[in-house]
Structure 1
Amino acid sequence: MLRMIALDLDGTLLRSDKTLSARTRQVLESYIAKGTHVVVASGRSYDSLPQEVLSVSGIDYAITSNGVVICHRPTGEKLFYSPLKPACTQQLLSLIQTHHAEFEVFLDGVPYADAAFVAHPTAYGLPDAATQYIQSTRKPIKNLLSFTQEHIQELDCLDFITIDQQKRKLLSQQLEQISGIYVTSSVPHLLEISDASAGKGPALRRLAQYLNIPREQIAAFGNEENDLDMIEFAGVGVAVANSPAHVRDCANFVTGSNDEDGVADFLERYLTQQ
């Protein structure tokens, strides 16, 4: 019996056009009706979560910003919150200035990015498909560096943005020299940086302890590097078919792709076996 289902969104639960299929919605609602906790577990900040998912009645918990926050949605209470330490942020800002790196920051669940980047993401090498998402979720700031310094005591997390794989590799190497941070990635153009205590896996473990649910009764679905620790923690770790090979290899099961309703397909089959 599954008592908790943790769901990555982009590339896993949501189709490539960012929609939630009617079939998937129905399957989730059937589990919720049976008393299973269905939990959002996303790299997105809380403010960026799609209303289409949040409108599923009974999704009471959300793990956001790669585990920086665990929120009880009906009350708005943060069950866990681990912001970036100012000393770590200062080192990240030094890297940004040294490498003239593009970045975005998250403050109280809201993402902020440079105004020029928000206006024209494709000018920074991002695909056309990313434009609508970025412009609908990021708040544009004219001087992001100054904004970050002003709010250095209260940042949730920070992302480096680059499609240059050589630059990404260099930044990754230098990030390894900074203690007290957690680094992961959900898409090729991002390096997502948060406090060392973050991560979807640790957040799922904390929520499971809070709800007194053993890991054997938890299923977790994902498709990218930032889902690995969550998939490995859950008793039923599931990768969708569109995941990279190393993510599929670490999962207990592989289901259909996000565009084939892989999550719904697995949960329907699992339910009939119980």
Structure 2
Amino acid sequence: MKYKLIAIDMDGTLLNSKNEISKKNKEAIKKVTDKGVKVVLSTGRIFPSALHYAKSLEIETPIISCNGAYVAEHGKLNIIYEKPISVEASKEVINLAEKKGIYYHFYDDTTFFARRFSETVNNYYKLNEKIDEKERIDIRIIDNPIEIIDSEKPLVYKFVFVEDDREKLLEFRKEAAKIDGIEVASSWWNNVEIMNKGVSKGRALIELCNVLNIDRSEVVAIGDNENDIPMLKIAGLSIAMGNGEEEVKKIANVVTKTNDESGVGEAIEKFVL
């Protein structure tokens, strides 16, 4: 099979434990793009964060961000697909999180709204230092999220809720799932992610393939966590990371090495080059 597109998750997949792209991964991606294969970053992150890494790889294909809620070309000159959460659903989600006392943040295409300062916020501040000023993430610590939703009406693509108490987090997820008009997923053991109903990396990948006129059988998808499963299921070849969740490994066609062992580069060399 001659594959034409590789969709790659970022955290836990392309990036190692230091949030870096290994030399082997970079070299494999360079080789495969030189052969005409499109490499697409598919991430839960906010768009500018994904764009930063795409530029470091010197790839210019569209980016799937916000777990598939926002797909755009570099410079956002062409938004291929977007599906924000409704105002009503956003308010319900916020009220539930406030009631349960769970930390959360949410974002549109460029602005990161955080309920308070956190490790994630700090990481984005550090990332901003590496990004061109005009493409930096607008980070805002807010006291009244509902007021922001009502007055500014941001196009919210994704909420992330973080809680180390697993029982508390699972209870929150169970209740959140009852809210109309939302999709619930997770990308890490201590988080819950909420998007508009029907949003997933798989749906976004289908939309992108339609635009690029690429058949799903010609697609390779590589991921490690629950939110990657929809794109793995629609790909011609699905590859799970060695460090991935067991549920991901079970549905994947093959399992590669871990993200700290350049599993992406290993998979590209073995199955695409």
TM-score, normalized by the shorter chain, greater than 0.5: yes
Alignment-derived partner of residue 131 in structure 2: none
Task: Provide structure 1 residue ranges, at least 5 long, that are not aligned to the other structure.
Answer: 122-129
SS state of the match for residue 133, structure 1? Answer: helix
1:133 equivalent to 2:123? Answer yes
The whole-number CA distance in structure 2 between the counterparts of 1:91 and 1:131 is: 23
User: For residues 18-56 of structure 1, what are the alpha-carbon distances to aligned partners after superposition, in whole Å with 9 as ceiling and x for unaligned?
Assistant: 111122111111111111110000010112226344222
- Which residue in 1 is equivalent to 2:66? 65
Q: TM-score, normalised by structure 2?
A: 0.89
Give the partner amino acid of 2:33.
I
Partner of 1:22: 23
Cα deviation per residue 1:214-255 (whole Å; 9 max; x = unaligned)? 111100000000000111110100001001111101000100
Determine if contact 1:113/1:144 at 8 Å carries over to the other structure. Answer: no
8 Å contact kept, 1:47–1:110: no
Pairs within 5 Å for 1:110-129? 110-115=111-116, 117-118=117-118, 121=119
- Deviation track 1:115-173 (CA, whole Å, cap 9, x = no partner) reads 4x33xx4xxxxxxxx67525436724141423344334522221222111111111111
Backbone CA RMSD of aligned residues: 1.9
**Structure 2 CA distance for partners of 1:153 and 1:133, relative to 1, 3 Å:** closer
Give CA deviations for 1:96-124 in whole Å, capped at 9, x if unaligned. 23222221010223322134x33xx4xxx
Displacement over 4 Å in runs of 4+:
none
Q: Which amino acid aligns with 1:96?
A: A
The aligned residue for residue 46 of structure 2 is: 45
Moved more, 244-253 or 87-96: 87-96
Q: Residue 49 of structure 1: SS of its match in structure 2?
A: helix
Show the counterpart of 1:262. 263
Aligned: 1:201 with 2:202: yes
Query: For the Cα contact (< 8 Å) 2:64–2:72, is it kept in 1?
Result: yes
Distance 1:157 1:74 in 2: 20
Contact kept in structure 2, 1:67 and 1:200, CA below 8 Å = yes
> What is the DSSP-based 3-state SS (H/G/I as helix, E as strand, rest coil) of the residue aligned with 1:12?
coil
Equivalent residue number for residue 87 of structure 2: 86
Matches within 5 A, 1:190-229: 190-229=191-230
Corresponding residue of 2:13: 12
Q: Which moved more, 1:21-30 or 1:150-159?
A: 150-159
SS at match of 2:11: helix
Q: TM-score, normalised by structure 1?
A: 0.89
Q: Please give the alpha-carbon distance, in whole angstroms, between the structure 2 residues aligned to 1:75 and 1:227.
A: 23
Identical columns (%): 26
CA contact (8 A) 1:182 1:194 kept: yes
Corresponding residue number in structure 2 for 1:35: 36
Cα distance between partner residues in 2 of 1:268 and 1:167: 42
Q: Distance in 1 between matches of 2:234 and 2:91?
A: 32
Aligned counterpart, 1:124? none
Q: Distance in 1 between matches of 2:190 and 2:178?
A: 21
Conservation of the 8 A alpha-carbon contact between 2:51 and 2:74? no
Q: Which residue of 1 aligns with 2:178?
A: 177
The Cα of 1:187 is off from its aligned counterpart by 1.3
The equivalent residue for 2:143 is 143
What SS does the aligned partner of 2:157 have? strand
Change (3 A) 1:149 1:46: same
1:163 aligns with: 164
Q: Give the structure 2 partner of residue 252 of structure 1.
A: 253
What is the aligned partner in structure 1 of residue 237 from structure 2? 236
Q: Which amino acid aligns with 1:201?
A: G
Residue 102 (structure 1) aligns with? 103
| Unaligned stretches of 5+ residues in structure 2 | 128-136
Contact kept in structure 2, 1:46 and 1:110, CA below 8 Å: no
CA shift in 2, pair 1:132/1:101, >3 Å: closer
1: CA distance, partners of 2:75 / 2:29: 18
